[in-house]
Chains A and B, each alone.
Chain A
Amino acid sequence: MNLGVAIPLVIFLATLFLVGFYAARFVKQGPDFLQEYFLGGRNLGGLVLAMTMVATYGSASSFIGGPGVAYNTGLGWVLLSMAQVVTGYFTLSVLGKKFAITARKIKAVTINDFLRERYNSKWVVILSSVCIVIFLFASMAAQWIGGGRLLESFMGVSYQTALFIFTISVLFFVVIGGFRAVALTDTILGFIMFIGTLIILIGTIIAGGGVTNIMNELVAENPNLITPFGADGSLTPLYVSSFWILVGVGVVALPQIAVRAMSYKNSKAMHTAMIIGTIVTGIIMLGMHLTGVFARAVMPGIEIGDTVMPTLTLSILPSWLAGIVLAAPIAAVVSTVNSLLLLVSSALVKDIYINYIKPTASEKRIKNVSLSVTALLGLLVYLSAIHPPDLLIWLNLFAFGGLEAAFIWPIVLGLYWRKGNAYGAISSMIFGVGSYILLDRLSPNLWGMHTVVVPVLLSLIVYVSVSLLTMNRNVQQQQKIEDKFWYV
């Protein structure tokens, strides 16, 4: 074990516990348990809101996977990754005030609360819960495995031990502290990610003898590395642009991100968060992916993309600095899984248990159920991460695009288009997810675009046309919904 690397990591894991204890006080005293536990009492300020959005979105792939691909592909991949800057301001301003106002009107705590009130349909809620539980459980397991692997390699312990340490650290503060603990730890984790990015970028530029020198070496190896088209010239403008849907504007529809758009205190918090979010996302994405490319000049010949960042960090930085930089990907993993864990738990407790199983449950009972479901889910993820089943890995591949195709129109048009109805929402969810999985199997990257593009467009057409076709059904009910949502 490398002590210099391990000490910063241990300090950082211990901090998470402290935050958990701090936030647990609010859970204990809070007037409304559900709103506090799953939404932090709708009390987030600008900085915390920005950081929890960035940190929840930024995952292991921003720090390990992405830079590894950039190492092999060149500046073209950095260009692609910059499509993510849009998430910093777009999600908040599109869902923005409308979501915040509406959620308060109907007292929504989860995305499903919103969908249930908006469409007044059991099937919408069930479909959406199924999507959330399946897709997010799978992505959570994948991140969990990533977290275990990272701890394993940085701390020099076995995978089983690493996974156990990881589980304990995450579970503890999420279970006792709820959303407030998640948002606060995300803020700390976001700072670690931000600072880690700056250190490794600067370190790599120095190690490579300056940017000009690095560029010359890249051109000497393969001039394509500094073009927008990738090392083998295969990155077409259309393909790269299509990532603006997958990792750009489509992020609006990820439930773990969207739910944050109803968690903030006031307009000012949202405005501040848009500015901070844009800056932090941009610096992390630009910095990490650029480092990946620069690494090729500093340390050529690394074969496995995922090992680029750890190898680079350990060889060019003194060990105490390396510890801080290596904490960044772990921070990214922790800040993603904590939100997913709470979200899946809220789908099970708030959307299924309270709505359909035991609507009369007492506050105390809800509290016990919430804490135990969150803890049980965590243990379940832990167990499945020890020997991950193939199905889980397979599902994880669809999670990101599948959630976007399922939720984008029911959420966005549900907010802005009065005629949207339950028939439209149900068919667009089924069509979106169905066509995404089918297309991915049969004809991935159809017409040279990322697979997610066509399903997102298809589900838009389906949502609008089915809503219009069924306009004359349930007229009264639709009018009631419009009254509740749009009129005062």
Chain B
Amino acid sequence: MDTRKDKKIDPRFKVSNREALIAIGLAIINFLWWYGFAYGMGSAPVEEYTFVFGLPAWFFYSCVAGFIFITILVFIVVRFFFSDVPFENEGKEEETQ
């Protein structure tokens, strides 16, 4: 590692690593919500189904509400947890926060 004494890891990568982890977190939450409502509520016999806006409750919560929920979550994450990073210059002097 001697050649790297005067070098450091691109500071912008700290941001991109964190954002990639956030994306994986989002996908996991998205999956759990989708799976939980679909098979948690949808496994009951059809006679016991309840309906929301005419759709079976499992479907409404999993696919319709789940989609709205994840959209809001993406919005919040992008607004408050993703940071602006310059792409063009080498990012040496830039403060990335």
**Which chain A residues have a beta carbon within 8 Å of chain B's beta carbons?**
75, 78-79, 82-83, 85-86, 88-90, 93-94, 96-98, 100-101, 104-105, 210-215, 219, 223-224, 226-229, 237, 241, 244, 248-249, 266-268, 271, 274-275, 278-279, 282, 286, 416, 479, 483, 486-488
Q: How far is the CA of A229 from the CA of B58 in the complex (A)?
A: 12
**In the complex, B95 has a CB within 8 A of chain A:** no
Q: How large is the interface on B (under 10, 10 to 19, 20 to 34, 35 or more residues)?
A: 35 or more
Q: Which residues of A contact B4 (CB under 8 A)?
A: 483, 487
**Which chain B residues have a beta carbon within 8 Å of chain A's beta carbons?**
3-4, 7-13, 15-17, 19-20, 22-24, 26-27, 30-31, 34-35, 38-39, 42-43, 46, 49, 51, 53-56, 58-59, 62-64, 66-67, 70-71, 74-75, 78-79, 82-88, 90-92
Q: How far is the CA of A162 from the CA of B88 in the complex (A)?
A: 45
Q: How far is the CA of A488 from the CA of B49 in the complex (A)?
A: 59
Contact A79 B62 (CB under 8 A): yes
Q: Which residues of B contact A483 (CB under 8 A)?
A: 3-4, 7
Q: A275-B74, A488-B92 are in contact. List 9 more A-B contacts (CB 8 A).
A: A90-B23, A211-B53, A211-B55, A266-B86, A282-B67, A416-B20, A486-B13, A488-B8, A488-B91
- In order of increasing CB-CB distance, the 9 nearest A-B pairs are A211-B54, A93-B23, A98-B16, A212-B54, A223-B46, A97-B16, A228-B42, A487-B7, A282-B67
Given contacts A79-B62, A486-B10, contact A212 B51 (CB under 8 A): yes
Given contacts A89-B23, A100-B87, A226-B46, contact A479 B7 (CB under 8 A): no
Given contacts A86-B30, A101-B12, A267-B85, contact A96 B19 (CB under 8 A): yes
Cross-interface CB contact of B70 among A85, A219, A228, A271, cutoff 8 Å: A85
Contact A97 B23 (CB under 8 A): no
Cross-interface CB contact of A86 among B27, B53, B58, cutoff 8 Å: B27
Q: Which residues of A contact B71 (CB under 8 A)?
A: 275, 278-279, 282
Contact B10 A488 (CB under 8 A): yes
Contact A97 B53 (CB under 8 A): no
Contact A101 B91 (CB under 8 A): yes
Q: How far is the CA of A100 from the CA of B49 in the complex (A)?
A: 48
Q: Which residues of A contact B79 (CB under 8 A)?
A: 271
Q: Which residues of B contact A213 (CB under 8 A)?
A: 54
Residue of B nearest to A87 (CB): B27
Q: How far is the CA of A98 from the CA of B54 in the complex (A)?
A: 44
Contact B46 A219 (CB under 8 A): yes
Q: How far is the CA of A14 from the CA of B1 in the complex (A)?
A: 59
Cross-interface CB contact of A97 among B12, B59, B74, B75, cutoff 8 Å: B12
Q: How far is the CA of A226 from the CA of B88 in the complex (A)?
A: 51
Q: How far is the CA of A80 from the CA of B46 in the complex (A)?
A: 19
Q: Which residues of A contact B70 (CB under 8 A)?
A: 85, 278, 282
Q: Which residues of A contact B23 (CB under 8 A)?
A: 89-90, 93-94, 96
Cross-interface CB contact of A214 among B19, B42, B54, B91, cutoff 8 Å: B54
CB A275 to nearest CB in B, in angstroms, measures 5
Q: Which residues of A contact B43 (CB under 8 A)?
A: 228
Contact A286 B64 (CB under 8 A): yes
Contact A101 B16 (CB under 8 A): yes
Cross-interface CB contact of B87 among A249, A266, A479, cutoff 8 Å: A266
Q: Which residues of A contact B51 (CB under 8 A)?
A: 212, 215
Q: Which residues of A contact B54 (CB under 8 A)?
A: 210-215
Contact A228 B39 (CB under 8 A): yes
Cross-interface CB contact of B67 among A223, A286, A416, cutoff 8 Å: A286
Contact B10 A89 (CB under 8 A): no
Contact B87 A267 (CB under 8 A): yes
Contact A104 B63 (CB under 8 A): no
Q: How far is the CA of A282 from the CA of B46 in the complex (A)?
A: 26
> Can you show 14 pairs from A to B with CB atoms below 8 A apart?
A82-B66, A86-B30, A93-B23, A94-B23, A96-B16, A98-B20, A101-B13, A101-B85, A212-B54, A249-B27, A267-B84, A271-B78, A275-B74, A275-B78
Residue of A nearest to B11 (CB): A488
Residue of B nearest to A91 (CB): B23
Contact B27 A487 (CB under 8 A): no
Q: Which residues of B contact A486 (CB under 8 A)?
A: 9-10, 13
Determine which residue in B46, B58, B78, B90 has the highest number of CB atoms from chain A within 10 A of its CB, and name it: B78
Q: How far is the CA of A12 from the CA of B83 in the complex (A)?
A: 39
Q: How far is the CA of A487 from the CA of B17 in the complex (A)?
A: 15
Q: How far is the CA of A237 from the CA of B79 in the complex (A)?
A: 34
Q: Which residues of B contact A249 (CB under 8 A)?
A: 27
CB B23 to nearest CB in A, in angstroms, measures 4
Q: How far is the CA of A385 from the CA of B15 in the complex (A)?
A: 46
